[in-house]
């Protein structure tokens, strides 16, 4: 583990985040898990899938 993360964890123990920030983080995590579950079980709609555009063909002079 990187020592930077250990220092960050020590700072969080000394100064814990507010309850509003904890709720925000948990809401974001729950939203991500819900999107993953929908994509995994139902599938992703084709209309929302990005397609690669082919490069235009160059005409030689």
pLDDT, position 46? 78
Q: What is the pTM of this model?
A: 0.56
Q: Which residues have C-beta within 8 Å of that of residue 25, sequence separation ≥ 6? A: 17
Is 22 a member of any domain?
A: yes
pLDDT of residue 58 exceeding 90, the answer is no
CA pair distance 38, 11, nearest whole angstrom: 36
Q: What is the pLDDT of residues 2-40, one digit of tens each?
A: 889 899 889 989 999 899 999 999 999 999 999 899 888
pLDDT, position 57? 67
- The CA-based angle 16-30-48, given to 5 degrees, is 135
Is 60 a member of any domain?
A: no
Q: Which residue has the higher pLDDT, 48 or 22?
A: 22
Give me the count of residues in the chain.
Answer: 61
Is 61 a member of any domain?
A: no
Domain of residue 35 covers: 17-43
Is 34 a member of any domain?
A: yes
Total structural domains in the chain? 1
């Amino acid at each position: 583990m990187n020592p930077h993360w250990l220092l960050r964890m020590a700072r969080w123990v000394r100064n814990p985040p507010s309850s509003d920030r904890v709720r925000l983080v948990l809401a974001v995590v729950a939203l991500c898990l819900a999107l993953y579950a929908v994509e995994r079980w139902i599938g992703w709609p084709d209309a929302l899938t990005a397609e690669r555009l082919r490069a235009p063909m160059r005409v030689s002079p």
